[in-house]
Amino acid sequence: MSIAVSLKKKLKYFDLDISFSCAKKNMVVMIGPSGGGKTTIIRMLAGLEKPKEGKIVFGDEVWFDSLRHVNVPPQKRRLGYVFQDYTLFPHLNLYENATFAAVDKKEVDELFELFKIGHLKKRRPQMVSGGERQRCAICQALARHPRILLLDEPFSALDAITRRGLREELKSLKGRMSFPIIYVTHDITEALYLADELLPVVDGKIDNQWLQRMITREPSQEVALRAAREPRLTLVY
Amino acid sequence: MDFLALYVTLKLALITTVLLMVIAAPVAYALAYYRFAGKSFLEALIYLPMALPPTVIGFYLIIIMGPKGFVGKTWEMLTGGSLLFTFIGITVASIIYSIPFAVQPMKAAFAKIDRRLLESAYVLGLSRRAAFFRVIIPNSVNGIAAAAILVFLHSIGAFGVLLMVGGSIPGETKVASIAIYEAVEMMNYEVAGMIALSFIPISYAFLLLINKLNERTRI
Amino acid sequence: MKKSNFKQVITKILLTVIGVAFFAGLSGQAFAEEKISVAVAANFISAFKDMAADFETKTKIKVEGTFSSTGNLYSQIINGAPYDLLLSADEERPAKLNKDGLADNPFIYARGQAILWSANKDFCKAKTWQDALKNEKVKKIAIANTQTAPYGAAAKKALEKVGMWDGLQTKLVNAQDIAQSFQYASTSAVDSGFCAMSATVSAEGKKGCFYLVSEAPEIIQSACILKRTTNRAAVQKFIEFLNSPAAKDIKVKYGYR
């Protein structure tokens, strides 16, 4: 199942106007400067916010159509969503969190092994590290057999090493899944590593020129200095 | 020692607490999560019993619960009996008297929950109702418990309101606070003293409990 | 510099105001009118107000009344409340105060009558008050607390005398004092209430109807000067007034003897 999206919404500093699609088994990565509307787009896909105008069609299901007043609530869209933080319920332990909406509890055990957090099953979210929490959040989302997976800067709050590790796991996971994945990040390197398709979003609109500028511009003095200070990180992946 | 009066007091406080928690929960939910026209007016109205002297509340309750009042007349139509001077009548009065003490802490506890937790629940497939019971309530237990205890304590202390609308009928509407008052009037100071003394351990125990609950949330 | 100047000015003004007020108060004391403070039982309120007004016009002595149930006033007094005179609704409490050395010898100042009052004029269509109470339409009857209010106790005696006390238990609503009993009856919260005769004279009272409960014993209301008083002469004048013909007229007007 693939998803076709066209959205318009008036935001505080700019108007959001964007159309794109994502085929199944594909990962579309939305990149762009902070505050550009990426999170709003993802939230509209999830049904947590309403576009002023537009249409969201998943396969042959219409999730949103402003002309015909269709708005399927998030509960019915059956998607997976990993926030940057706070996806896990603090009153449940990691295992209970992952099985919260799971289709098959046994799968959860497998997922936990896959993401190497099997030994933390009984711990509460407050008692594990950020990276472990995000792993659990991904398990929670996957356990639901989502038809599409949305990730909003899931690793931004983590340290560079953990981030790199999780990125690799996600990429290998993607190969095995058959649903579309939409991933939001502001880290270009991460985007280049993960994406099948890149979607640069600047001030609420797709701006392919921006990406070109980012990649091919002459490294500024600042970038050159940084490269000198942190050689390994700038050449990451 | 008026055990009957103490029994009526405890029975009233318990029933008031249970009923009020159920009534106040959706109100607190609406106030915590929704914005709507006239919200601040509604909130002020709900908190009114906290600002009014109990005798004022009692005064108006007699009027509306009496045979000529809106509530009293409806009750008479439905049941054929009067609402005033009955246990049900003082339960209604007690509920109105304590509404703000239930709504306020619950609303605060609900509002403290991160909105993203709820969104996560919706995305995972929970309806709003299911999310209320499986996400909101487990994460606001302390606030809910504090509300319940406050309502209970406030109810056992009700005097002015019940003096006006109760009719001091032994076993039905004569609560301990009124019994103390009447014992003093009758110059039965020993009885008054004993009833008064029994309030202290009960109230103190519950206050300790509130403290313990507050400490736990800080972790 | 400006700030401390401002503070100084404010302080000076405040001190001046306080000083003036203090001295005004002091001098006020010297020229203060004489006044006495009386504790009055709830049923006697209206009669007392008329008497106080008359007394003040005649003697220029101010009379302050505090109205409450007899029991409440009594406990205030034994806890040191600074009244000069107690006008009780019973004989028992003034006698007790006298015995405990807190008051002078008590004396009777009024005799009251218990009545059965209703806001509903149809209520009084029956021949006697017993018949009126037997009507099925009568669901609730107010009576002042029989253990703490003398009028309530008198009403109870009347009911016992005609053998209706036990039968009416489920219909009785206990009011804290005679005033609350009348309040319940006049707001129709109850179908009728045992009150004091004085209630019938008020504007509210005239709107309803009543029966004289002759089976109820006369309520003998006695009074006593409290030893705590600092205005003995003024209180004596008031007591003389209580026994004067003018006061008698007021008492009769309100149903006392």
- State how beta strands C114-118 and C192-196 pair: antiparallel
Nearest to C164 by CA among C138, C196, C199: C138
Considering the domain boundaries, does residue C22 fall inside one? no
Residues of chain C with Cβ-Cβ distance to B62 below 8 Å are: 187, 189
Look at residue A237 in the predicted model and tell me its pLDDT.
Answer: 40
C120/C106 same-domain check: no
A176/A66 same-domain check: yes
3+ Cβ–Cβ pairs closer than 8 Å linking C and B: yes
Residue B30 has pLDDT above 60, yes or no: yes
Residue window 185-214, chain B: list those with CB within 8 Å of chain C. 185-187
Look at residue B55 in the predicted model and tell me its pLDDT.
Answer: 87
A63/A154 same-domain check: yes
In degrees to the nearest 10, what's the CA dihedral of B64, B69, B75, B81?
100
Asked which of A144, A165, A182 is the last residue of a domain, the reply is A144
Residues of chain B with Cβ-Cβ distance to C172 below 8 Å are: 169
- State how beta strands C141-144 and C192-196 pair: parallel
A159/A189 same-domain check: yes
- CB-CB under 8 Å, C72 with B185: yes
C137/C225 same-domain check: no
For residue C134, give the CATH number of its domain: 3.40.190.10
Say whether pTM exceeds 0.80: no
Nearest to B122 by CA among C194, A77, C209, A1: A77
C241/C192 same-domain check: no
- Residue C235 binned pLDDT confidence (cut-offs 50, 70, 90): very high
A113/A171 same-domain check: no
Residue B96 has pLDDT above 70, yes or no: yes
Measure the CA–CA gap between B91 and B61, rounded to whole angstroms.
12
The rounded percent of chain B whose pLDDT value lies above 90 is 52
The residue among C174, C188, C194 with the most chain B CBs within 10 A of its CB, best to mutate, is: C174
C160/C76 same-domain check: no
Range of the domain at C206: 114-212
A20/A67 same-domain check: yes
Look at residue A233 in the predicted model and tell me its pLDDT.
Answer: 53
Q: Give the number of domains in chain C.
A: 2
Residues of chain B with Cβ-Cβ distance to A80 below 8 Å are: 123
- pLDDT per position as a tens digit, C44-100: 988 999 999 999 999 989 999 998 888 888 888 988 888 999 999 999 999 999 999
Considering the domain boundaries, does residue A218 fall inside one? no
The average confidence (pLDDT) of chain B is 89
Range of the domain at B89: 3-218
A9/A59 same-domain check: yes
Those residues of chain C whose CB sits closer than 8 Å to some CB in chain B are 69, 71-72, 74-75, 139-140, 142, 145, 147-148, 172-176, 184, 187-190
Which residue does chain A place closest to B115, by CA atoms?
A86
Look at residue B217 in the predicted model and tell me its pLDDT.
Answer: 59
Nearest to C39 by CA among C3, C6, C69: C69
Contact with chain C for residue B163, Cβ under 8 A = yes
Range of the domain at A121: 90-144
**How far, in Å, are A98, A104, B67, B140 from residue B103 at the CA level?**
33, 39, 30, 13
Residues of chain A with Cβ-Cβ distance to B126 below 8 Å are: 75, 101
- CB-CB under 8 Å, B163 with C75: no
Residue C198 has pLDDT above 80, yes or no: yes
Residue A144 has its nearest CB partner, among B122, B125, B135, at B125
For residue A38, give the CATH number of its domain: 3.40.50.300
Measure the CA–CA gap between A157 and C249, rounded to whole angstroms.
92
C175/C241 same-domain check: no
A13/A130 same-domain check: no
- State how beta strands C85-87 and A181-185 pair: unpaired
Residue C201 has pLDDT above 90, yes or no: no
- CB-CB under 8 Å, C142 with B182: no
Considering the domain boundaries, does residue C125 fall inside one? yes
Considering the domain boundaries, does residue A230 fall inside one? no
A186/A103 same-domain check: no
Which residue does chain B place closest to A102, by CA atoms?
B124
Measure the CA–CA gap between A219 and B39, rounded to whole angstroms.
55
C188/C134 same-domain check: yes
A122/A132 same-domain check: yes
Pairs of CB atoms within 8 A across B/C:
55
Q: Give the number of domains in chain A.
A: 2
Look at residue C30 in the predicted model and tell me its pLDDT.
Answer: 45
- CB-CB under 8 Å, B116 with A144: no
DSSP secondary structure letters along B44-77: HHHHHHHHS-HHHHHHHHHHHHSTTSHHHHHHHH
Contact with chain C for residue B43, Cβ under 8 A = no
C190/C237 same-domain check: no
Cβ(C107)–Cβ(C222) below 8 Å: yes
Look at residue C31 in the predicted model and tell me its pLDDT.
Answer: 45
- CB-CB under 8 Å, C147 with B169: no
Which residue does chain B place closest to A148, by CA atoms?
B123
Q: Give the number of domains in chain B.
A: 1
C163/C176 same-domain check: yes
Considering the domain boundaries, does residue C82 fall inside one? yes
Residue B61 has pLDDT above 60, yes or no: yes
A29/A54 same-domain check: yes
Residue B116 has its nearest CB partner, among A77, A86, A144, at A86
Least reliable range by pLDDT among A150-154, A214-218, B195-199, C130-134: A214-218
C159/C226 same-domain check: no
Closest CA–CA distance from residue B65 to any residue of chain A (Å): 44
Measure the CA–CA gap between B78 and B202, rounded to whole angstroms.
37
Angle between helices C245-253 and C232-242 (to 10 degrees): 60
A176/A165 same-domain check: yes
What is the mean pLDDT of each successive set of 10 residues along chain A, which is 237 residues long? 84 85 87 85 91 89 89 92 85 91 87 88 90 90 91 88 86 85 88 88 84 66 62 49
Residues of chain B with Cβ-Cβ distance to A73 below 8 Å are: 122
C64/C143 same-domain check: no
Residue C26 has pLDDT above 60, yes or no: no
Nearest to A151 by CA among A125, A187, A127, A97: A187
For residue B173, give the CATH number of its domain: 1.10.3720.10
Residue B66 has its nearest CB partner, among C75, C142, C187, at C187
Considering the domain boundaries, does residue C138 fall inside one? yes
Nearest to C225 by CA among C85, C111, C71: C85
A166/A189 same-domain check: yes
Residue B124 has its nearest CB partner, among A73, A90, A144, at A144
